[in-house]
Structure 1
Amino acid sequence: MQIKKNLFLFLIKIMSLISFSKKSDNVSYLMSFGGNIDFIQRLNERCLARKQHLIVFYRPSMELEAIEIQKIGIETKMFVENIFFVLNLIPLISKSSLLFVDNYFAFLATMYTKKSTKIVQLWHANGAIKSFGWDEPKTNNRSDSDKKRFQAVYDQFDNFIVGSTKMGAVFEQSYHIDTDRILEIGYPASDKFQNIDWQNKMKNNIFASYPNLKNKKVILYAPTYRENISGDVALELPEDFSNIQKLLDDETKLIIKLHPHLRDKEIELKSILSKDIVWVDDYSTGELLTITNCLITDYSSVVFDFSLLPNAEQILFYCFDYQIYKDSIGIQSEFQEWAPGPIVQTMNELVNAYQKVQNSDRQLDTFNLLWNTANDGYATKRVLDYYFK
């Protein structure tokens, strides 16, 4: 496996070197997460004004998002790290004058670019509860060559776009990078959560599709995904999870929103839970936040978006596997200090916390002052102004 990995990275190096002398002023975007179409559309407008061409390279899981991007006239190319990718797409990506990415991409470790090329890490979350990079527990058990490759990827990023000093510090520690590479000018994907027109549009659309949610208190349960030993998405809920139904009453609706790859788990839960529980497949978690009053999650970054919304009333952290998750994936060391709501580990604790605890506006304000200081709804403009001066 290691030999195959090294050979692949060597081929990346060779193909990017071959393309090194070829002139191109293209702008590229590597997309592995959704929710940033507005930024991509406005990026394309800046490119067109400069007579530059934008290409969005996307993972197969982002095909629906890519279709929406194609509809607004932007070129897209699906990519999987195989020989076709090396021979046909690496030359395009490596020649970019400006490259935006939303994740860690291993092939960047050996990809050559011109000194004038800027590689910008937008990331896929506004804040962090999970650990990543050097702070992820399993990193210590990786081989020296793996660790060297990880840092080679981290070192490729010229800038990290963040919405707070706190998130900048997380990148500095997790990726072992210098402070001067942090741009605290706002997280573009957060803009819509301060856009009243977008919020109202989402609310109207959702209520039209699910009229039973209108004029009700809405609880959204949106856990982060987990992976099993095989690396597949999995979620093993406690036996007493069905007690979540105790949160329901005549004035309250509960939406359960699982990862798209957990269809089997959804079918299983539907068979044992109340028919009053709402399952929504046609709206994203981010869109559902606009009608949510109480958010129940665990280690998901949706809390950093939800806290910006005027309808945010209560956040509860249902961390039934807290110690296991902390030991295997890792949790930010100060999470228990700054979490804007109770952290519970059993369903009884969750039900009690919901009934007894109401988050205060001050608690959410304090949380936003820590994690959302530069997220004022104009991050996209500032980011684009910075790179298209």
Structure 2
Amino acid sequence: MSFANNDGELIETLSKEYKEELVLFYTMNTYEYAKKLEKKGVRIYPYRKSFLLLFNGISFFKNAKIILVDNYFPELVLSKKATQYVIQLWHANGAIKKFGWEASDTQQRSLSDQRRFQKVYDSFTNVVVGSDEMAKIVLRSYRLNPQVILPLGIPRTDTLINNTNKNSGTTILYMPTFRSDWKSLKEIIDQAISVFGKFPEKNFLIRLHPTLKLKSSDVRLPNNVKITFDFLSNVFSQSCLLITDYSGVVFDYVLHNKQASVIFYCPDFVRYQENPGIQSQFFLEKIGPKTETIEELEQVLKSFDATVYQDRYTLFAAKWNKYNDGKAQERLLSYIKVLDQKR
């Protein structure tokens, strides 16, 4: 587990079903969530090289019949057997930025690195998706056979579906995507905050990628801007408008907030197109205005008319959430039971 709350309570359900047979490996950024699961009876271990190698933690991977992952884990190359099932529960419901073979930095890696990447991709027995659109991207990005696609819906979206917001919130939510260069991300956040401060009559919430932590002391916040670490479903319910850039959170947002709106603030759009790259069709969807400067963002916030984009917003939500109907976890659990019975 590399993303907290990405499972949509699937881990708890599996724990009740399989008890001690379930073992959860967690990355350190999900420590708090893992400890909560431990208190509910889930057996947990840290996903660290020291534990995997020095304490033979890799044996859990080698001996497991079914492995669920939410990210790229190179250890799969060391442990994968023909009799094992590896189900990829990717941490995003859709994709704006490119990844895998489509990302520009992958093309710049050595041949040995590329072969290693593909070995990990080839270890996936199945990849769970919530739409045909995401399935196409997965197949291109991982160079996989179409038979690996499992169109069951994303388990996490069950919670979003069952707590659908019909736009009762009033807050504007800002969620920029992850960037490995913290300095450049901080500059972008500061720019956005400078615009938010010009609208004292509006309330703004900032929520960053779960692997990043931003404290109020790290930035100068106007009185109308706050930082939150709350669950997505909670912050979605408070909001009437999402401001983002290339974050996959937009696919969850349109599912949860049926009548809300999206603005894209992308000051590094040209650079991001080059590395890692942007899915060529995404911004052609035009579900909301794309701004690249603080002046453009300010102007859009002054005059934004959500009704102009509502029809495209609704079609986009339906297309990218075709299999997300609130029963994804139930279907996945049934599939896991079928695999388990093959032992």
Q: 2:225 aligns with which of 277, 285, 289?
A: 277
In 1: Cα distance, 2:239 partner to 2:73 partner: 33
Q: Kindly tell me the number of residue pairs found equivalent between the two proteins.
A: 333
* CA offset digits 1:241-267 (Å, max 9, x no partner): 412223441xx3111223463436x53
Unaligned runs of 5+ in 1: 1-30, 204-214
Q: 2:46 aligns with which of 78, 99, 104?
A: 78
In 2: Cα distance, 1:238 partner to 1:255 partner: 12
| Corresponding residue of 1:226 | 179
In 1: Cα distance, 2:140 partner to 2:65 partner: 28
| Corresponding residue of 1:385 | 334
2:116 is paired with a residue whose SS is: helix
Contact 1:294 1:312 survives alignment (8 Å): no
Tell me by how many angstroms 1:98 deviates: 0.5
Larger mean Cα displacement after TM superposition, 38-47 or 120-129: 38-47
Tell me by how many angstroms 1:37 deviates: 5.0
In 2: Cα distance, 1:180 partner to 1:91 partner: 28
1:109 equivalent to 2:77? Answer yes
TM-score between the two structures when normalised by the length of structure 1: 0.79
Tell me by how many angstroms 1:310 deviates: 3.9
The CA RMSD measured in Å over matched residues stands at: 2.5
| Corresponding residue of 1:255 | 205
Tell me by how many angstroms 1:268 deviates: 4.1
Change (3 A) 1:278 1:87: closer
Change (3 A) 1:244 1:233: closer
The 5 A counterparts of 1:1-389 are 31-35=1-5, 36-48=7-19, 53-82=21-50, 84-85=52-53, 87-113=55-81, 115-196=82-163, 217-228=170-181, 234-237=185-188, 240-241=191-192, 242-249=194-201, 252-259=202-209, 261-263=212-214, 266-270=216-220, 273-281=221-229, 283-310=230-257, 312-354=259-301, 355-359=303-307, 360-389=309-338
**Which segments of structure 1 move beyond 6 Å, counting only runs of 4 or more?**
none
Tell me by how many angstroms 1:385 deviates: 0.8
Larger mean Cα displacement after TM superposition, 320-329 or 128-137: 320-329
Higher relative contact order by CA 8 Å / sep ≥ 6: 1 or 2?
2
Change (3 A) 1:378 1:34: same
* CA offset digits 1:312-341 (Å, max 9, x no partner): 511011011011112122111111112521
Change (3 A) 1:192 1:233: farther
Tell me by how many angstroms 1:227 deviates: 1.0
Unaligned runs of 5+ in 2: 339-343
1:219 is paired with a residue whose SS is: strand
* CA offset digits 1:283-328 (Å, max 9, x no partner): 1345311211100011111111111124651101101101111212
Paired-residue identity, %: 32
Contact 1:192 1:199 survives alignment (8 Å): no
Change (3 A) 1:268 1:310: closer
1:128 is paired with a residue whose SS is: coil
In 2: Cα distance, 1:124 partner to 1:135 partner: 18
Partner amino acid, structure 1, of 2:226: V
* CA offset digits 1:74-115 (Å, max 9, x no partner): 1011121236546421111211011000001112123242x2
Contact 1:292 1:311 survives alignment (8 Å): no
| Corresponding residue of 2:341 | none
Tell me by how many angstroms 1:269 deviates: 2.5
2:75 is paired with a residue whose SS is: helix
TM-score between the two structures when normalised by the length of structure 2: 0.89
| Corresponding residue of 1:7 | none
Contact 2:95 2:248 survives alignment (8 Å): yes
Change (3 A) 1:149 1:86: farther
Partner amino acid, structure 2, of 1:139: T
Change (3 A) 1:33 1:83: closer
Q: Which has the larger radius of gyration?
A: 1
